[in-house]
Each structure stands twice: as structure tokens, then as C-alpha cells.
Chains A and B, each alone.
Chain A
């Protein structure tokens, strides 16, 4: 299989004082169709890792190659275009627009991804159907439960048919039951061929991924399944 993601000696340091090295020479290869969790305590560099993978941040040193193309060559708008077309994000705090309906929230990324206008609503309905929320189309996010909100966020992330879904502590605000629901949803999406990278501090959640990578103090170590 082709490598979808290749990190080569990626270092990200934040100028101080004191200077902080959030990532120290990280190497990671993720193939298309993989389901990887990156687990580590807070302050270990997880978020920096996700920001780099999500093209929200650039490595100080090293190269991030996405689908065979080095991303360092992209300018600001080029990175925005790749985010719009190829990446989906799911956040811990959902980040739904409170004054837009569920359907409008899911249609939002297609503004920027370039989906033909006529298709936007159909595709949003399909995505919401996929996460089991077709009965909530006209609701405002405020009246939904946490699990439902996160499923709206997942629908929003997959509506552009991305190559890679990045989830940042997606279960951090959810209880045990809804966490299970979301994790099952992720597994189903992965079964459909979507590449997933999930960042979490929760070992239980991380273990449900097909492959787990531990991050500590800015360095990655592969966790071999027991």
C-alpha cells in the first residue's frame, strides 16, 4: 500500500524563552486505510502532532509528506485547500456553530471544499444518515446530547469525503456509553476505507484502534499489540 502520511525527522520547537521542543525528530508512516491512535499524557506533544498532521502548523525541521507530496511547498492558501478537500477534523469540544441547524453545520465545510452547490444538501443529509442523525436535521446543536453533537461533528468531517480523518480527544467530553458509540462509528468508517488518526490520553480509547503509537516528551514509540 501507498504511504498516505510520512513524517521524516519532524521537529517542532516553540521559541522561548525557554525554548520548548514539542516534537523531537519524529518519524511516522501511516498507510492509506490505517486506523492509528496516538496516545500520551498531556504536554507530551499530542496536540502539536495533530496540528502538524492537519496542516494547521508547520514543522520547524523535517518534512511532512502527504500522499507523496511534500507539504512544505504549499503556501498558506494551498494548505487551506488541502485541509478543505483532503482532511476532516473532529474536536473534543465539537466546535459546532450554535446558531446553525445540524444540517447547516454539516454543510459548512462544503463551502470551502468546492462541492457543487446543488449537491451540498444531499451530501450533508447522506453524511448525517451515515452517523444515524437523519431525525435531527433541523435541530440546533444546543438541544442535542453530547454524543449526538459529536456525531454531527463526525458527519461534518466526513461530508467532504476526506482522505484522512483527524480526531483530537473526540471522547474527552463524553460519558462511557457515548464514547463506545463514537468508537464504534470510527471503526465502521475505517472499515469503509477511511484513514483515521485519533489522538487521546485515554488508554482504553487508544486500544480500540488497530495500531497505537505512544508519544512521550516529544518522541514516538510504536506500541506492539499484546
Chain B
């Protein structure tokens, strides 16, 4: 206010002009810079479009590539994650014996299930092992019909109580066996859907039995296809206790658990210790790695080639901006000279062209990111996928455009700032 009054009072000219530097607060502000830099951007729409094309293509390709990869990865992950990411299996380590046969170097303790279920992240656990029929019969009728066509019997598995919950199977009819059946070595059996079909059993209210090596086992339930163990569909499952009593089955060969998504890496270490504290190396635990592993893996594979391609296009886009900005500098030599004569500093001139090129880059980035997102959405729609795209990628794409502009504007801006006003004013 004081300055304004002083200026008003001053006559049109000052007899003794001061050469003090101009107050910074009053001078060229950032908003002035942006205003000057953007004023002429739209002056030549056709040229602007050509300038933008490279950046738009590059950013769009980049955003779309990442978007497709994320979308595809999440499709694959959606199918795999639920089943694969929750399945953990433990087997005793094996060693090569003389003669080339694999021999287990340890055995799973009989209380494996209890030890595993105490660990955080384990939803359900069960022991399971195949019982070798060794020529024993497995039929639904007590007598052998010599005239019947020879058919391979279903496989026989011995498992602990929670097996159905662990492998993700539901009983179609009847009920699973429980720990009591196991402890008492009751002769009860569960049939997989396929096995039940082959044995001609489809309802249990008639109290059907199957005969394993002539021993009658009561069928108490039929279960659907397990989500993690497809091979159990065509199998008969009996309690481990019964298998031990009737068929002298050895220690079960495998423990399986259904775990929380993401708990795999931590459980892998804990379970080996829990089952064999003295020699954790003798337990082989197969657990899924962290949740993002699979997705990241797929993404990485798809991305590399396209990212390189996009970067090349983006470089071309940057060169386009650099070219046009340079052209614009050359065209505006007179204007630059005038601005310098009017008191613009070299920095202000350079700033004007850098900001202009950043704004052009940002514009290209915004359009490119939008096109990229649109491409992901449209393709996903036609493929009936769920489009997945990290918002950071879209925003980052737009900003990357600005960075390209910044890089492209450097040389022309330097050139502009070096223009001598004398030469520029004489020329035009």
C-alpha cells in the first residue's frame, strides 16, 4: 500500500532513477510463469495434437500394459489363490536308498494333527495316507462274482477325522467320521462321489456297507469333489485307527492342512519344528508363498517386454516435444528478445519454455493415462474379466508425461535463455 502511494505521488518520470534491485515479492511469480507458458499452447491445435501423439501413445501403452498384466494376474490368481494358496502338505523327507528306492528318513508322529492345529494360521489339518490294497478286494457285495468284469477298485485312503474340512470337500449325503471313530477303530467309510457311483451306492439311509478284504465297513457319508485333492473323488476313506487295526497300515505318509491365505511362508518353518523339533530337516513342508507372489510373478513376465516397448514409444514422444519446443523457440526469437528487453531474466525465459513443455507433457500424460485405462476397461468387458488397475498407475502415468515434458524442455529452454536480445531484436 505504501509503495503504491509513493508511486502515485511520483511524477511521470523520476529525475534520479534508483538502481536498487526490484523487490522479490513484487516480481514475476510462479503463477505469472505458468500463465505466460500456457498462454500460447493452444494457439496451434493441429501442431499441439501432433506434439502430444507420441506421449499419449507411450503413456497409454504403459498404463494399458500394466493394467492388462494386473487384470490377467488377478484372473489367474482368483482361480488359483483360493485352492492353492491355502493348501499345505507335510511329508517326511526321503533319501535315496541302495538300489535306487526312495526311503522315508522320518515318519509323521501320530499326533501330527494336534501339533499342527495349535499353530496360528492353520484352519484345519488331517493326516492322510494311501492304504495299499495289495490284491485285497474292495467291493459293495460280500461275495465275489467270478463272472463280473474285472475292474480296478477305488483307491483306499486312511485319514484322520478332519479330512473333509481340510481338503475342502462337503458331504453330499450322510456325515464325516469323527475322532471317536478313529480312536475306536470303527469300521466306517466315506466314499468319494465317483467311487460311490462305481460301487453302486448313492444313498446311505439304507445303511449300505462295503467290503474291504472281506471286512464290512459301514458307509456313513458320500462327499463331493474336494477343492485341493481331486484324487479323493474316486477313493474310499477310512479312519487311520481302523486302517492300523485291520490292515496294519504304517504311519500315514502325509499330513495336509488348510491354512489362511498368506500364512504359508511362516508356517513352513513352524510346522517342521513342531513335528520334528530335533530334526526339522526331516520334514518337507510344501506351503504356498505369500499372496502376492503368484500375481507378481505373472505380472513380471507379461510386463517386461511391453514396458520396454512403451518406454521406447515414450522416448519418441519426448523427442517429439523437444523438437516442437525447439521449433517454437526458433520461431519466437523476436518475442524472446523483446521479453529480455522488457526485463525478463534468462531464468524466466528458460522457465517459460520448460513449464510450457511440462504442461504439454502433462496433457499428453493425462490423455494417455485415460486412453490406457479405457483400453483396460473395454478389453476386460469384452473378455468378461474384472478390470484391475492400481490407481497409482493411472496417476503416475499422467505425472510421467510431465516428467517426459520436463526432460524434453531442457535443451530448448537452455537455447532460449541464451538468445541475446540484441541479435533477436535486430533480426525480426
* Inter-subunit contact A82/B19 (CB<8 Å): yes
Residues of chain A lying within 8 A (CB to CB) of residue B203: none
Query: Measured between C-beta atoms, what is the minimum distance from A129 to chain B in Å?
Result: 14
Q: Does any Cβ of A come within 8 Å of B17's Cβ?
A: yes
* Inter-subunit contact A84/B343 (CB<8 Å): yes
Indicate the size class of the contact surface on chain B: 35 or more
Residues of chain A lying within 8 A (CB to CB) of residue B422: 51, 56-57
Q: Does any Cβ of B come within 8 Å of A185's Cβ?
A: no
* Inter-subunit contact A56/B17 (CB<8 Å): no
B334-391 contacts to A, CB under 8 A, are 334-335, 337-348
Given A84-B343, A119-B4, A66:B17 Cβ within 8 A: yes
* Inter-subunit contact A163/B14 (CB<8 Å): yes
Interface-lining segment among B22-30, B104-112, B249-257: B22-30
Q: Does any Cβ of B come within 8 Å of A69's Cβ?
A: yes
The total number of A-B Cβ pairs within 8 Å is 125
Give the residue of B13, B343, B425 whose beta carbon is less than 8 angstroms from that of A83.
Answer: B343
Give the residue of A56, A77, A100, A195 whose beta carbon is less than 8 angstroms from that of B39.
Answer: A100
Give the residue of A80, A100, A119, A164 whose beta carbon is less than 8 angstroms from that of B345.
Answer: A80
* Inter-subunit contact B16/A68 (CB<8 Å): yes
Q: Does any Cβ of A come within 8 Å of B129's Cβ?
A: no
* Inter-subunit contact B10/A69 (CB<8 Å): no
Cα separation A10 to B14 with both chains bound (whole Å) = 25
Total interface residues on A, CB under 8 Å, equals 51
Cα separation A91 to B26 with both chains bound (whole Å) = 27
Query: Measured between C-beta atoms, what is the minimum distance from B24 to chain A in Å?
Result: 9
Residues of chain B lying within 8 A (CB to CB) of residue A57: 422
Nearest-neighbor residue (CB-CB) of A163 within chain B: B17
* Inter-subunit contact B22/A81 (CB<8 Å): yes
* Inter-subunit contact B23/A114 (CB<8 Å): yes
Query: Measured between C-beta atoms, what is the minimum distance from B372 to chain A in Å?
Result: 33
Cα separation A84 to B21 with both chains bound (whole Å) = 10
Nearest-neighbor residue (CB-CB) of B32 within chain A: A111
* Inter-subunit contact A95/B26 (CB<8 Å): no
Residues of chain A lying within 8 A (CB to CB) of residue B114: none
A53-85 contacts to B, CB under 8 A, are 54, 56-57, 66-69, 71, 74, 76-78, 80-85
* Inter-subunit contact B40/A112 (CB<8 Å): no
Give the residue of B17, B19, B339, B421 whose beta carbon is less than 8 angstroms from that of A112.
Answer: B339
Give the residue of A69, A113, A192 whose beta carbon is less than 8 angstroms from that of B22.
Answer: A113
Given A100-B39, A112-B339, A193:B19 Cβ within 8 A: no
Residues of chain B lying within 8 A (CB to CB) of residue A91: 338, 425
Residues of chain A lying within 8 A (CB to CB) of residue B15: 1-2, 4, 32-33
Q: Does any Cβ of B come within 8 Å of A99's Cβ?
A: yes
* Inter-subunit contact A95/B425 (CB<8 Å): yes
Query: Measured between C-beta atoms, what is the minimum distance from B33 to chain A in Å?
Result: 9
Q: Does any Cβ of B come within 8 Å of A147's Cβ?
A: no
Query: Measured between C-beta atoms, what is the minimum distance from B267 to chain A in Å?
Result: 66
* Inter-subunit contact B343/A81 (CB<8 Å): yes
* Inter-subunit contact B12/A77 (CB<8 Å): no
Task: Report the 3 A-B pairs with minimum CB-CB distance, sorted nearest first.
Answer: A84-B343, A114-B26, A163-B17
Q: List 18 A-B contacts (CB under 8 A).
A: A4-B16, A32-B13, A66-B17, A84-B344, A85-B343, A89-B342, A95-B337, A95-B338, A99-B40, A99-B43, A100-B39, A112-B28, A112-B344, A112-B348, A113-B22, A115-B26, A163-B13, A193-B12
Residues of B within 8 A of A (CB): 3-4, 7, 10-19, 21-23, 26-28, 32, 36, 39-40, 43, 334-335, 337-348, 420-422, 425-426, 428
